[in-house]
Amino acid sequence: MARLLIRSGETTPGGLATARRDSATQPTGAGPGAVGGKAYRAARRSARRWALLVAVGWLLQVGVRAWFSRGQSVPLANPDESAYLIAARVLAGGPATDFSYSTLYQGGYPLLITPVYWFTSNAATVYHAVLAINAAVSALLMPLAYVTGRRLGLVGPAAYAVAMLTALLPAGLFYSEYALTDAIYPVLVLGWLLAVHSWLTARSTRGQYAAAAGSALLAGYAYSVHSRGTVMVLSYVVVAALVAWRRLAPRRTVAAAALVVVASVGGTWLLNRYLSATMYPEGTRNLTAQLKTTLHSVHGAINVFEMAAGQYWRLVIDSWGLAALSAAVTFITAVTAPAALPSDQSQTWASGRYLDGLIVTYFVVGAVVLLRARPRFILICAGSTAVLTALTAVIVSVYAGSSIPTGSFPTGFSFGEPAVLTQNWNSANVFISTAAVVVLLGIWVLIALAARRWNDVVVWPRFRLSRMLRALAVAGLAAVSLVAVTQMTSHVSQANTLAQAQSTTGFVAAAGLKPPDQIAVAFTVGITLPATDVPYFLWAPQAFEVSWAELQFFNPAQAPPAGVNVVETGWPAGQPASAGWPHHPAGWRIVASNQAAGWVAWRHS
């Protein structure tokens, strides 16, 4: 990728040519006592200054994430958030909850947030602490994107600006407001790519061993965090085989990387096995079987093609048009990730969550293309992107409809960027959002070409027109991202927090739940949910909120489990609250209820 993008330098003002001139003033091996000692000390001062600026940039990004998540108090994306939080509680030695027949929420992310439970079990404190961890880890996008830009030939100021913009993308910022793997996955992807590059380019043997082990560890950890990590591990195996075959690095480093990968994958298997036995006693939903079923028939293959088209569409939409390049790993992830979804969730096929790590990565690459590539190459990339995006938009409209609903939490959460581009939080039109992103891409391209064309024009003492145009592009991209995250936070996160809090913290307070109360919920697995049962998006966050006991399930037609003194049932529409448990045993009375949310709390006298 670097060889493709890094040109001779004469067509890129301030690009590689400047870097070469700078390196020419730094003799190899020059030390403080050598002839080049002055240049050496200047280079060290410059490196320290940039390290300080990058650290400040990381702190600013942490602050931005903390600000946007300040209103979050309860899990909203359920059962995912609650399952990860409860898994972390289990790893810390706390009580579990039965999530049988649902997706296995792997142990990598819970392992990261488990230490929070070493200090507190209060649900609200735990949740805020987890979001703080998300902010710190997610903000690492900024320094990683800076290093990526430098390695792709950008000078310091340009790499810094691109890094700050990358960290502001909704794909890398919005999900830090939730206890989800999406909060850290972009960091894992970009960090892994940089570690692999370091393995191949390190100047010392010790550096190659460290980079090989580090890249292997990141691949293994990504595998433990989400099933998308399987693609990373398989890709890493192919890279390692190529390195060993072509001797691109010492073969002993390949052996070290293989050892780390095997150990991390083996550890992941043991961790997931433990969580499966604890939280999924009746088994988990088989994603592999769903994938095989989808790929087995011609109809399934067509569905996969439609899924991949939807993923590419979101790759472009969610990066404001700059992620115009793709790679084999993108295609594989775009196919395999949504292929495990049920065939009746066609709109979810166009969700942008599955490629969030690649969206931020290719945003950096797209920015480098605008800043460093030849004008003809930029126009070819932009034209190809516009055509492919329009084509995939047509495909998305065929299977998901020309308008995608965005008014509820699940739809707004999955289609926030299209809603922003269309400025419609009820229904986002596929073609309007596509046209909007193509216009945005055109603006970025025109600014880049104009800055290249008028590079020598000075409009004010010490102010070149090209620099002003590039500053305008940076401000425009930052504004688009910040407006998008602001609207997504307002319409998705904040708009749903109050209602969810009333059914979690409000439920616990209204029912008077406290240790050592034992609670059972009316819920029957594997059947159509009756009106007397409580849906998972209510009981899952409640199971997290009740941190001292394992939430149990029961059939309202039968007596609750022994030792239970609090019961929750559903509230059938159009009927009194008592209809949720019409044949309740003597001694049980209603202590709290919420007709809007559909739950009724009972306590044994």
pLDDT, tens only, 57-67: 999 999 999 99
Q: Using pLDDT thresholds of 50, 70 and 90, give the confidence band for residue 477.
A: very high
- In the predicted model, is pLDDT for residue 23 greater than 80? no
Q: Using pLDDT thresholds of 50, 70 and 90, give the confidence band for residue 339.
A: very low
| Residue 380: predicted pLDDT | 86
Mapping DSSP onto H, E and C, the string for 89-125 reads HHHCCCCCCCCCCCCCCCCHHHHHHHHHHHCCCCHHH
Query: What distance, in Å, lies between the first and last C-alpha atoms of the chain?
Result: 70
More confident residue, 64 or 342: 64
More confident residue, 496 or 323: 496
Domain ranges (residues) in the chain: 69-138+184-285, 505-604
Share of the chain above pLDDT 90, in %: 63
Stated pTM of the model: 0.88
- The conformational region for residue 277 under phi > 0 = left, psi -120 to 50 = alpha, else beta, is alpha
Q: Where does residue 168 rank: exposed (0-12), middle (13-18), buried (19+ CB within 10 A)?
A: buried
Chain segment 583-596, per-residue pLDDT in tens: 899 999 999 999 98
Share of the chain above pLDDT 70, in %: 85
| Residue 572: predicted pLDDT | 92
Chain segment 558-568, per-residue pLDDT in tens: 889 999 999 99
Q: Where does residue 44 rank: exposed (0-12), middle (13-18), buried (19+ CB within 10 A)?
A: exposed
CA distance 161 to 158: 5
- In the predicted model, is pLDDT for residue 350 greater than 70? no
Whose tokens are 């040519």? That residue is 17
How far CA 345 is from CA of 121, 260, 350, 397, 574, in Å, comes to: 36, 37, 10, 14, 30
- In the predicted model, is pLDDT for residue 218 greater than 70? yes
| Residue 522: predicted pLDDT | 93
* 566 Cβ neighbours under 8 A, 6+ residues apart: 511, 513, 517, 518, 519, 520, 601, 602, 603, 604
Q: Using pLDDT thresholds of 50, 70 and 90, give the confidence band for residue 101.
A: confident
Rounded to the nearest 10 degrees, how much is the dihedral formed by the CA atoms of 491, 497, 498, 500?
130
| Residue 95: predicted pLDDT | 95
More confident residue, 605 or 240: 240
Inter-residue contact 355 to 315 (CB < 8 Å): yes
- In the predicted model, is pLDDT for residue 396 greater than 80? yes
| Residue 330: predicted pLDDT | 47
CA distance 90 to 101: 18
CA distance 438 to 25: 43
More confident residue, 37 or 584: 584
CA distance 429 to 452: 35
* 140 Cβ neighbours under 8 A, 6+ residues apart: 58, 187, 191
- Average pLDDT on 406-423 reads 92
- In the predicted model, is pLDDT for residue 346 greater than 60? no
CA distance 532 to 535: 10
- In the predicted model, is pLDDT for residue 12 greater than 50? no
Rounded to the nearest 10 degrees, how much is the dihedral formed by the CA atoms of 412, 414, 420, 422?
-90
Chain segment 280-322, per-residue pLDDT in tens: 998 887 666 555 655 566 666 666 667 777 777 887 888 877 8
Tell me the pLDDT of the chain averaged across its residues: 86
| Residue 304: predicted pLDDT | 66
C-alpha atoms less than 13 angstroms from C-alpha of 202 in its C-beta half-sphere: 20
Poorest-pLDDT segment among 25-34, 139-148, 197-206:
25-34
| Residue 14: predicted pLDDT | 41
- Average pLDDT on 506-520 reads 93
Q: Using pLDDT thresholds of 50, 70 and 90, give the confidence band for residue 497.
A: very high
How far CA 328 is from CA of 166, 232, 234, 506, in Å, comes to: 22, 11, 12, 48
Which tokens sit at 496?
Answer: 């749903």
- In the predicted model, is pLDDT for residue 347 greater than 50? no
Q: Using pLDDT thresholds of 50, 70 and 90, give the confidence band for residue 8.
A: very low
| Residue 437: predicted pLDDT | 93
- The conformational region for residue 247 under phi > 0 = left, psi -120 to 50 = alpha, else beta, is left
- In the predicted model, is pLDDT for residue 488 greater than 90? yes
Whose tokens are 């693609």? That residue is 231
- Average pLDDT on 330-346 reads 48
Q: Using pLDDT thresholds of 50, 70 and 90, give the confidence band for residue 156.
A: very high
3-state secondary structure of 532: coil
| Residue 300: predicted pLDDT | 61
Number of helices (H) and strands (E), helices first, in the chain? 25, 9
Taking only Cα atoms into account, the Rg of the chain, rounded to an integer number of angstroms, comes to 26
Rounded to the nearest 10 degrees, how much is the dihedral formed by the CA atoms of 174, 176, 178, 181?
110
| Residue 294: predicted pLDDT | 56
Chain segment 256-265, per-residue pLDDT in tens: 999 999 999 9
Which tokens sit at 154?
Answer: 């950008």
| Residue 308: predicted pLDDT | 72
Find out whether the peptide bond into 516 is cis, omega within 30 degrees of 0. Answer: yes
- In the predicted model, is pLDDT for residue 159 greater than 80? yes
| Residue 15: predicted pLDDT | 44
3-state secondary structure of 464: strand
Q: Using pLDDT thresholds of 50, 70 and 90, give the confidence band for residue 85.
A: very high
The length of the chain is 605
Q: What single-letter DSSP state applies at residue 71?
A: T
| Residue 83: predicted pLDDT | 96
E strand segments, 382-507: 403-405, 427-429, 458-460, 463-464
| Residue 458: predicted pLDDT | 80
Chain segment 229-284, per-residue pLDDT in tens: 998 999 999 999 999 999 999 999 999 999 999 999 999 999 999 999 999 998 88
